[in-house]
Amino acid sequence: MKNINLKGITKQYKSVVAVKNLNLEVKEGELFCLLGPSGCGKTTTLRMIAGFIPPTNGEIYIGDKNVTNLLPNKRDIGMVFQDYALFPHMSVANNVAFGLRMRKFDKKKIAEKVNRYLKIVGLESQKNQLPRFLSGGEQQRIAMIRAVIIEPSILLCDEPLSNLDAKLRKQMRFEIKRIQQKFGITTIFVTHDQEEALTIADRIGVMKDGAIEQSGVPEEIYNSPKNRFVADFIGISNFFKGDIITESNVCFLMISDKIKIKLGKAEENICKNEKAEIVIRPERINIIKNIEQLGSSPQGRKDNVFHGKVGRVSRLGSVIECMVEMEGCQDVIVHYHETNKNLSLKENDSVFLMWKPEDCKIIS
């Protein structure tokens, strides 16, 4: 297995810069997700690695080899396409065998290997079937196996699950992860679905307008977004903007005279700034109906406590989403699990919101 190294990759089309001076290193055996909205350059980057688009500037290394000027068929890369690109006139077995045929393997060995790999995805019974008679999920698996059977140095996936329905997508995610881990192939997986990325990636690179805004492990991306774009793109966010004030060695984000949000100790150096924006994840906010549950008085507590009025309540599966209008402030989205039976909230209920200062993440 090899690692992937992109150095200063740029792609410019006449007046549009699709990819701006991208530097990226993907470790051996890693599943790296390139995540971003449409038009952010993630697919362009992938296709440059594959060799279908020549970069305007920069170099691409697979392992120690500079592949920037190599033709696509000489790069030893496996690729899974968004529309699967299965050869419609060939049977499943012949599709999967194609790469091996091009590498001039022995016929018997090819047949044996094809059977083995089809077993891995449970499709050996379909080996003589034509692709168009297979379901979306089955086609996806064949596309994957076809790419993997040639034992390439790296694997590239271009939004391979976009054409599947929601439930199948969730199943197939794990299938892809399983195959990737089984063979330990260094993989770059392009997607616009942040839930997908968070679920299967070893590391994520969030892209916007041709550049990587932040890259890191999923927890890092989720809990410590570097800027507003990343925070907004991943998961749901509550943003607060305001002035920084200091009171008795504690930093506060002041939104108005009445609302002051206590910030955690880790963000101490932010006290030097004048203004800031923070983000809080919905599941970090607790909702309490009765103030007595708090125990001591609000002012004395270490946490942030605010009063609010419930707006709309909606159910997202097992999580309840609640929009609360914070008194004197903006609307805030709160998530809590439905097993929390003490809470049966209705519109216009009066509640208290509570969260720890450490859960406030500074994004600027």
Partner 1 sequence: MNNSVEENYKRQQNWLAYRFISPSILHYAFFFITPLFILFLYSFYHHVPGGIVDTTMSFENYKLFFGDPFYREILLRSFILGLVVTVSTLLIGYPIAYFMSISSERTKSICYVLVLAPLYTSVVVRTYGWMIILGRTGVLNKILMRLGLIDDPIQLMYTFNGVVITLVEVFLPFMILSIHSILENINKSLLFAAQNLGASKSISFLLITLPLSIPGIASGCILVFVLSIASFVSPVFIGGTGFRVIPTLIYEKAMASLNWPFGAAIAFSFLFIMVIIVHFYNRITSSERWSTVK
Partner 2 sequence: MNIFMINRNTKSSINKNGRQLLKFLFSGGLLFKLYVVLLSIYLLAPIIIVVLISFSNESYAVFPPKSYSLRWYIKFFNSTEFVSAFKMSLILAITVVIITLLVGILVSYALVRINFPGKNIVHSFLLLPIMFPAIILSLSLLIYFTRINIVGTFIGLVFAHTLVATPFVIKSLVGCLSTIQWSTNEAAQNLGANRLQSFFYIILPQIKFGIIAAVIFAFITSFDEVVISLFIVGGHTGTLPVYIYNYLEYTSDPTIAAIATMVIVVIGTIMLLIPKNYLTSIGSK
* Residues in touch with partner 1 (CB under 8 A): 10, 12-14, 54-57
Nearest-approach distance from CB 54 to partner 1, in angstroms:
6
Q: Is 354 in the site for partner 2 (CB under 8 A)?
A: no
Closest to partner 1 by CB, 21 or 330: 21
Residue 85, contacted partner among partner 2, partner 1, none, CB below 5-8 A by kind: partner 2
3-state secondary structure of 11: strand
Instruction: Return the beta strands (E) in the chain as ranges.
Output: 4-13, 16-26, 31-35, 57-62, 65-66, 77-80, 154-158, 186-191, 203-208, 211-216, 238-247, 250-254, 260-262, 275-280, 286-288, 304-316, 319-326, 331-337, 350-355, 361-362
Query: Phi and psi at residue 330, in whole multiples of 5°?
Result: -100, 180
Cβ at position 98, least distance to partner 2 in Å: 5
Question: Residue 272 corresponds to which amino acid?
Answer: K
Instruction: Tell me the window of 14-22, 88-96, 297-305, 311-319 that interacts with partner 2 (CB under 8 A).
Output: 88-96
Can residue 222 be called a binding residue for partner 2 (CB under 8 A)? no
Rounded-to-integer distance, Cα 48 and Cα 69, Å: 10
Residue 133: contacted member of partner 1, partner 2, none (CB under 5 to 8 Å, by partner type): none
146 binding partner (options partner 1, partner 2, none; Cβ < 5 to 8 Å by kind) = partner 2
| Residue with token string 């997202």 | 316
Contact present, 337 and 287 (Cβ < 8 Å): no
The bridge status of strand 31-35 relative to strand 186-191 is parallel
Spell out, one character per residue from 127 to 166, where the chain touches partner 2: x when CB under 8 A holds, - when not: -------------------xx--x----------------
The closest alpha carbon to 305, from 315, 292, 316, belongs to 292
Binding partner selected for residue 79 from partner 1, partner 2, none, CB under the kind-specific 5 to 8 Å limit: partner 2
**Which has the closest alpha carbon to 137: 67, 84, 61?**
84
7, HSE (Cβ side, Cα atoms, 13 Å): 10
Q: Which is nearer to partner 1, 18 or 326 (CB)?
A: 18
For position 276 contacting partner 2 by CB under 8 A, the verdict is: no
Name which of partner 1, partner 2, none residue 56 binds, using a CB cut-off of 5 to 8 Å depending on partner kind.
Answer: partner 1
Among 13, 23, 69, 103, binds partner 2 (CB under 8 A): 103
Question: What order of strands is seen across the sheet that includes strand 211-216?
Answer: 77-80, 154-158, 186-191, 31-35, 203-208, 211-216
105 lies in the site for partner 2, by CB under 8 A: no
Secondary structure of residue 40 in the 3-state scheme: coil
Q: Are 19 and 210 in contact (CB under 8 A)?
A: yes
Q: Which is nearer to partner 1, 29 or 58 (CB)?
A: 58
Mark residues 37-56: x for contact with partner 2 by CB under 8 A, - for none: -------------x-x----
Find the binder of partner 2 among 8, 57, 69, 89 (CB under 8 A).
89
Nearer to partner 1, 10 or 82 (CB): 10
**Interface residues toward partner 2, by CB under 8 A:** 50, 52, 71-73, 77-79, 81-83, 85-90, 98-99, 102-103, 146-147, 150
